Amino acid sequence: MEESKTSEGIVDLEEPKKMTREDWRKKKELEEQRKLGNAPAEVDEEGKDINPHIPQYISSVPWYVDPSKRPTLKHQRPQSENEKEFAPIGDWYKRGVQEKSISTKYRKGACENCGAITHKKKDCLERPRKVGAKFSGTSIAPDEHNQIQLALDYDGKRDRWNGYNPEEHTRIVEEYSKVDLAKRTLKAQKLQEELASGKLIDQANSRKHDDDAQEHSSEDEDEDKYVDDFDMPGQNFDSKRRITVRNLRIREDTAKYLRNLDPNSAYYDPKTRAMRENPYCNTGKNPEEVGYAGDNFVRYSGDTITMAQTQLFAWEAYEKGSEVHLQADPTKLELLHQSYKVKKDDFKDKQKESILEKYGGQEHLDAPPRELLLAQTEEYVEYSRHGAVLKGQEKAVARSKYEEDVLINNHMCIWGSYWRDGYWGYKCCHSMVKQSYCTGDAGKKVTNNSCVPFEEDVEEEAQQNEEPKTLLQMHQEKMKEKKKKKKSKKHSSKDSDSSDEDDEAKKKEKLKKALSAEEQRLKQVAEIMQLDERKRPYSSLKEVREPTEEEMEAFRMKRYRADDPMASFLGQ
């Protein structure tokens, strides 16, 4: 790289010349010699050796870090932030001119057009003068601020409000307020001129009202420009997208899903905040008494039901051939519906009269309703808080057609008022005999003390009445019992021996049959294994049922064991 000094003394770096093929070959050879250690290593600006084995993409300096293209590894070392001082986040380029006295004479090196020393003629932003300030020496422009390059840190570079002056916005607001005030004063002057123009008072008053209306309308027109910036009460209104947001419920109201916490109550849809059914349907409360009975209860109240009936009638009439519609011809539909109701009532009355003429029964229809006959009376009755009658006649108890509370044979209770050991009786005397005479408390004592003569009691009494046995008799009875036990044991041992022999014989027979069956199975398996796989029947080697103990024993006996030393003799 060749360096040249300019007239100002600044070192200027020339662009690197294109290397020839010979220079490129020499450079590669030098790199190889440095790697082998035959040539001295390259040195950076600090006098440190550069490792020749470092790749080129690490040792080469980016163009935006050091355009001098000198050999260095300084860009790979950590850069200390303390070396570079950053400007505060509030600093920004100064605008306008310097706040100092303006020179009255032209200065050497200043702009030839305006006379400011901070820029040259080619950078001057003023209108080119016919006679420049260099020759006239008058109207010297003030000097601007020197625009020094600010060293901003990471946050300062990305601060979108850095350099913003809020005074500019206040200046714009003041300007618009002055314009608005001037409009109002002009309107007031115009109104005073019209009133003082010598017209009639009525015309002046009417003109005044017209001007007031016009003023209000103009003010409304001015305000209409800012309507889009305001939000509707209870809504979030976006003027650009014209999308309204659903109103939220009043926070003091009880939420629908908290009215009945039973999981089997009405379903609540959280997305639409809707609960169609009545949440108190399981509690048995009247829908008219509760504060909230579901959305359907509110929806189908008032004229909604009548409108739905009218719509249903319109559909039925259209199917019958009448061209009516609820929205197109509401008046025609209403008149037709009313005439239909009148004709329907007349038809029902005629049908009812014809049935009564044919079968009779008018007297039953003229009777008062059942509710009045059974529930409502003119008798006055007062009750206490416990339900006892204070004044008036107590309500009669409903009785059946059979005789009740009929006491016979001096009994104080009826038959069936007492029960014991599966038998019915009288409670007054505990007698179990029907149609008997009452004995009172004496009968109770007798029945409670006396015992029912069961068979066990008879046997116990007979044993108590027997004479006591002697020791010889008791010894003889014991010997007889021992002999009986010995005989029973002998018979049982003989029976068990015979049964064991029979079981062993049966087991041997079953084992023989299982061995023969196992031999046949092995032959069948050998034949199947010799066949081709494509001709082999499906699931031929698969058993469905569970094998018995005899079959498992036969399988173990017939199983071929390769480690058995006598296995080779089994085939012979």
The answer to whether position 394 is within a domain reads: no
Does the structure show a pLDDT above 90 at 340?
yes
CA distance 78 to 75: 8
User: Taking 70 as the threshold, does the pLDDT of residue 65 lie above it?
Assistant: yes
Confidence of residue 7 (pLDDT cuts 50, 70, 90): very low
- Which tokens hold the place of 64? 């935006």
- What b/e readout covers 427-443, taking b as 16+ CB neighbours within 10 angstroms? bbbbbeeeebebbeeeb
pLDDT of the residue at 212: 60
| DSSP string across 263-302 | TTS---BTTTTB--S-TTTTTT--TTTSS---HHHHHTST
**Domain check: are 12 and 70 in the same one?**
yes
**Which pLDDT score, from 0 to 100, does residue 113 have?**
93
In the chain, the percentage of residues whose pLDDT exceeds 90 is 19
Q: Is there a domain that residue 140 lies in?
A: yes
Under the banding of pLDDT at 50, 70 and 90, the label for residue 45 is confident
Are residues 136 and 188 both part of a single domain?
A: no
**pLDDT for the residue numbered 178:** 94
pLDDT of 183 reads 93
pTM equals 0.23
What pLDDT does residue 225 have?
A: 47
**Between these two residues, 348 and 570, which has the higher pLDDT value?**
348
Q: Once rounded to an integer, what is the mean pLDDT over residues 529-543?
A: 69
Residue 147 in domain: yes
Could you tell me if 199 and 271 lie in one domain?
no
Looking at the domain assignment, is residue 421 inside a domain?
yes
% of the chain with per-residue pLDDT over 70: 76
Beta-bridged to residue 424, according to DSSP, are: 419
Check whether 222 has a pLDDT greater than 80. no
Q: How many CA atoms lie within 13 A of 403 on its CB side?
A: 5
- Is 140 in the same domain as 175? no
Least confident of 8-17, 247-256, 447-456, 490-499: 8-17
**pLDDT for 280-298, tens place per residue?**
887 778 777 787 888 877 6
pLDDT of residue 130: 92
Across 220-224, 369-373, 428-432, the highest mean pLDDT is recorded for 428-432
User: Is residue 191 in a domain?
Assistant: yes
Query: Which range among 85-99, 148-162, 392-406 has the greatest average pLDDT?
Result: 148-162
Residue 135 lies in a domain: yes
Tell me, what's the pLDDT at 458?
46
Mark whether 180 and 220 lie in a shared domain. Answer: yes
In a domain, 415, yes or no: yes
Residue-level pLDDT at 432: 87
220 lies in a domain?
yes
Could you read off the pLDDT of 451-494 as tens digits, one per residue?
A: 444 444 545 555 555 667 777 788 888 888 888 887 777 666 66
Structure token pair of residue 110: 């200043």
Which of 338, 364, 394 terminates a domain? The answer is 338
Strand partners, 419: 424
- Give the pLDDT confidence score for residue 455 in this predicted structure: 44
Residue 322 is which amino acid? S
According to the per-residue pLDDT averaged within each range, which of 252-256, 416-420, 524-528 is highest?
416-420
| 257-278 pLDDT, tens digit each | 888 888 888 899 988 888 888 8
Q: Which range is most confident: 42-46, 171-175, 282-286?
A: 171-175
Return the pLDDT at 9: 40
Q: Are residues 143 and 175 in the same domain?
A: no
Domain limits for position 328 = 256-338
Q: How many angstroms separate the Cα of 344 from the Cα of each of 319, 340, 348?
A: 18, 6, 6
- Tell me the C-alpha distance between 307 and 12, whole Å: 95
The number of beta carbons lying within 10 Å of the beta carbon of residue 514 is 21
Give the end of a domain, one of 338, 356, 383.
Answer: 338
Question: What tokens does 301 get?
Answer: 């109240």
H helix or E strand, kind and range, residue 175? helix 166-195
Q: Which of 353, 313, 356 is nearest to 335 (CA)?
A: 313
CA atoms of 153 and 88, how far apart (whole Å)? 8
Least confident of 65-74, 432-441, 526-535, 561-570: 561-570
Q: How many domains does the chain have?
A: 6
Beta partners for 425? 418
Across residues 203-210, what is the average pLDDT?
59
Higher pLDDT, 82 or 88: 88
Burial of 369 (C-beta count, 10 Å sphere; 0-12/13-18/19+): exposed
Q: What mean pLDDT value characterizes the chain? A: 79
Residue 179: the pLDDT is 94
More confident residue, 5 or 205: 205
Instruction: Give the C-alpha separation, 41 to 59, whole Å.
Output: 13
pLDDT for the residue numbered 200: 42
- Predicted local confidence at residue 15, as pLDDT: 55
Indicate if 520 and 556 belong to the same structural domain: yes
Asked if the model's pLDDT at residue 545 lies above 60, the reply is yes
Domain boundary among 33, 62, 77: 77
Selection from 37, 31, 19, 25 nearest residue 71 by Cα: 31
More confident residue, 352 or 560: 352
pLDDT of residue 232: 46
